[in-house]
Structure 1
């Protein structure tokens, strides 16, 4: 099986457009749909469907960049993901780092930004490398592993646990509940597991409010924004936001990138032969995978974009993988090329909400791929991948691979 987010031939006829169908991303070809929209209707009105409200769908790079760079017009405070119409407003709206606008967004960001600075990440790199080496040595002993859960999910989770002051003894418990919360096909299990995660974080935040340490949760628990401490619910929602943001994107990008290397082994061998290609390879993996399938903004006022007038209070969705395959910006956009330059992808966002963990994510991917390239001569499929059925993030939920050291051949 190949990931549906892989290049296909152009679409001449109008495709069936249902961007809120999760199966489009698991078994269909969303890039064919997005390609048609970029060429024919780049500011597209999507009628209500599958319980979701109607929304505008943007698919062109420059339109999406203009929205992300203008929080005064396009607000995050009403939510950043599509929600069923009967679910109401996102409970994190206006309260978390991801779901706030300036100036509160900047105030919340300032509380934790030092943890994700270049200096902080530089100090973290030896620990990240140690975690990656341990995971890969264990994988080497087994030979065949399920790459998503055995490697890609654990690396960022172990790192964010250290940053948030979560004891090492609790990492496997959190790995179990987050795997079910974000990968289970059972919606009830996803909900109950996410509740368990939030209960855990709330208990830990309560402890750190009483006895702060040197970690992100402690900083959030004692911080003042506009002269006030975060409420208990604000603290919990922000801890949850940081934990999920610090784990999910790297998990999916790392595994989806390996899936692409499995399909193009010559690119993997080129990377092994020249470690200097590693930074560019990671940028191409980020562009190619673009794990957030969509982002949502709500207009504060009527606005015209791409010749279409969008009213005040309307939902505008940004289809991020489409932007990163825009023919007007990227040469041969449907070609995976680790030597691509320039590579102006927006997989980590842009503007006010540029991913606060972007430097850390790049470091984790570079270290993981660097250690993989140094340790294994061959990475080959060991079964069919299982793909996420989701309109929120795209990529594999399971990826069986066989890892072969040079000495074993």
Structure 2
């Protein structure tokens, strides 16, 4: 991969006067699209690492911005429950429909049993068997970019690699994967739940019925014929878990696209990687830390607990801001520097504890395959227009990264 244009390095945020004073600032999606949330998180880590936000459109909640506090919450599901929802949502919408039913929204011991139905499709052996498929997907998307002379790093590259892979794992036939890609794109761009998309849900109802009648070697069949506590999953649980898995590809595509953007914006680090392929694993971890595509995760306290001198009551909502933890100055040396050789790099981009990302191996291999193919191919990439960032408090990264693409000379 050759970079034809050098872009501005992310500025180091300054800690100014209290930026959290204006109600709703941190939960304003526009801040994350066009503002500087890192400046706020940096101020909070120093001055108010456990910060109370009163109820408004969203429920009242506590913000945690320091690495150790975030990690402690992730590793204590008995005190900080996922079963009532893991994302901030307006009070008017009520409880998350997946509460207590999906992998992301359950606690042990049910979480462990549900995870057991899916784990074999994401372990090292399974991902290794998928490498050929993923490599072909990477090559096909890049070849199409070369043919057209242009592409978007998000929609044309990262999204397709991520979506086609999870579709194959679930058991969506190849001829239907483009429809799944289009449905998911419509929802992601509109910030709507996939569960509200009639085409998406109708398709999975039909596919679930097929797999129930005639199981095949795929994850959907495992869900349709698996049991938790000796009982089969309900149809709603099966469908919501499929929706959850497809929805999680948004994080995967954002990490891939934002990682590519990070390398374009830091050509010296790209040159290091090109010169020393042994840095690929470390570069993948740094991309995950740097991009931190999951902006926040929420838990509900099950008992009174003290954090940083503040008493959290049972029933209180606790929100961990993952990008902030991954820039914590007490854990990461020079955290606002993108360093493909960074080690150690114990980031929290894939969570920790019981809810450590089930697709972590898959995410790392996809990054490695994309970077390897770009470096090996000699394809030249140049940013051809402004980056548009997502207006969201749930996920972080680019909505669009327009690129010119040239065949190797």
Aligned to 1:323: 325
Name the SS of the counterpart of 2:339 in structure 1: coil
Q: Distance in 2 between matches of 1:328 and 1:293?
A: 20
- Number of equivalences: 401
Q: 1:4 to 1:220 in 2, by over 3 A?
A: farther
Aligned to 1:100: 106
The answer to whether the aligner puts 1:131 opposite 2:134 as a matched pair is no
> By how many angstroms is 1:199 displaced?
2.1
Q: Distance in 2 between matches of 1:4 and 1:346?
A: 26
Query: Which structure has more RCO (C-alpha within 8 Å, separation ≥ 6)?
Result: 2
Instruction: Tell me if the contact between 1:295 and 1:320 (Cα under 8 Å) persists in the aligned partners.
Output: yes
The answer to whether the aligner puts 1:37 opposite 2:37 as a matched pair is no
Aligned to 2:299: 297
CA RMSD of aligned residues (A): 1.8
> By how many angstroms is 1:4 displaced?
12
> By how many angstroms is 1:16 displaced?
4.1
Q: Distance in 1 between matches of 2:46 and 2:126?
A: 43
> By how many angstroms is 1:196 displaced?
2.5
Name the SS of the counterpart of 2:197 in structure 1: helix
Aligned to 2:211: 208
- Answer with 32-41 or 200-209: which moved more: 200-209
Instruction: Tell me if the contact between 1:5 and 1:31 (Cα under 8 Å) persists in the aligned partners.
Output: no
Name the SS of the counterpart of 2:211 in structure 1: helix
Aligned to 2:227: 224
Pairing partner for 2:202 from 190, 199, 204:
199
Aligned to 1:279: 281
Aligned to 1:372: 374
The answer to whether the aligner puts 1:15 opposite 2:42 as a matched pair is no
Instruction: Tell me if the contact between 2:195 and 2:243 (Cα under 8 Å) persists in the aligned partners.
Output: no
Q: Distance in 2 between matches of 1:285 and 1:379?
A: 18
Name the SS of the counterpart of 2:404 in structure 1: strand
Q: Distance in 1 between matches of 2:153 and 2:101?
A: 35
Aligned to 1:381: 383
- Answer with 386-395 or 137-146: which moved more: 137-146
User: Normalising by structure 1, what TM-score?
Assistant: 0.94
Instruction: Tell me if the contact between 1:348 and 1:355 (Cα under 8 Å) persists in the aligned partners.
Output: yes
Aligned to 1:141: 147
> By how many angstroms is 1:403 displaced?
2.5
Aligned to 2:3: none
Q: Deviations over 1:389-408 (max 9, x none)?
A: 1110011111101223441x
Q: Deviations over 1:151-195 (max 9, x none)?
A: 10000111111111101111111111111100137x6xx678634
Q: Distance in 1 between matches of 2:323 and 2:51?
A: 16
Name the SS of the counterpart of 1:155 in structure 2: helix
Q: Distance in 2 between matches of 1:3 and 1:31?
A: 19
Q: Distance in 2 between matches of 1:278 and 1:7?
A: 25
User: Normalising by structure 2, what TM-score?
Assistant: 0.94
Q: 1:250 to 1:4 in 2, by over 3 A?
A: farther
Instruction: Tell me if the contact between 1:385 and 1:398 (Cα under 8 Å) persists in the aligned partners.
Output: yes
Aligned to 2:350: 348
Q: 1:345 to 1:5 in 2, by over 3 A?
A: farther
Name the SS of the counterpart of 2:96 in structure 1: coil
Instruction: Tell me if the contact between 1:80 and 1:295 (Cα under 8 Å) persists in the aligned partners.
Output: yes
Q: How does 1:257-272 map to 2 (within 5 A)?
A: 257-272=259-274
Name the SS of the counterpart of 2:405 in structure 1: strand
> By how many angstroms is 1:377 displaced?
5.1
Pairing partner for 1:156 from 148, 152, 162:
162
Q: Distance in 1 between matches of 2:202 and 2:15?
A: 47
Instruction: Tell me if the contact between 2:28 and 2:393 (Cα under 8 Å) persists in the aligned partners.
Output: yes
Instruction: Tell me if the contact between 2:195 and 2:201 (Cα under 8 Å) persists in the aligned partners.
Output: no
Name the SS of the counterpart of 2:151 in structure 1: strand
Name the SS of the counterpart of 1:153 in structure 2: helix
Unaligned 5+ residue runs, structure 2?
Answer: 1-5
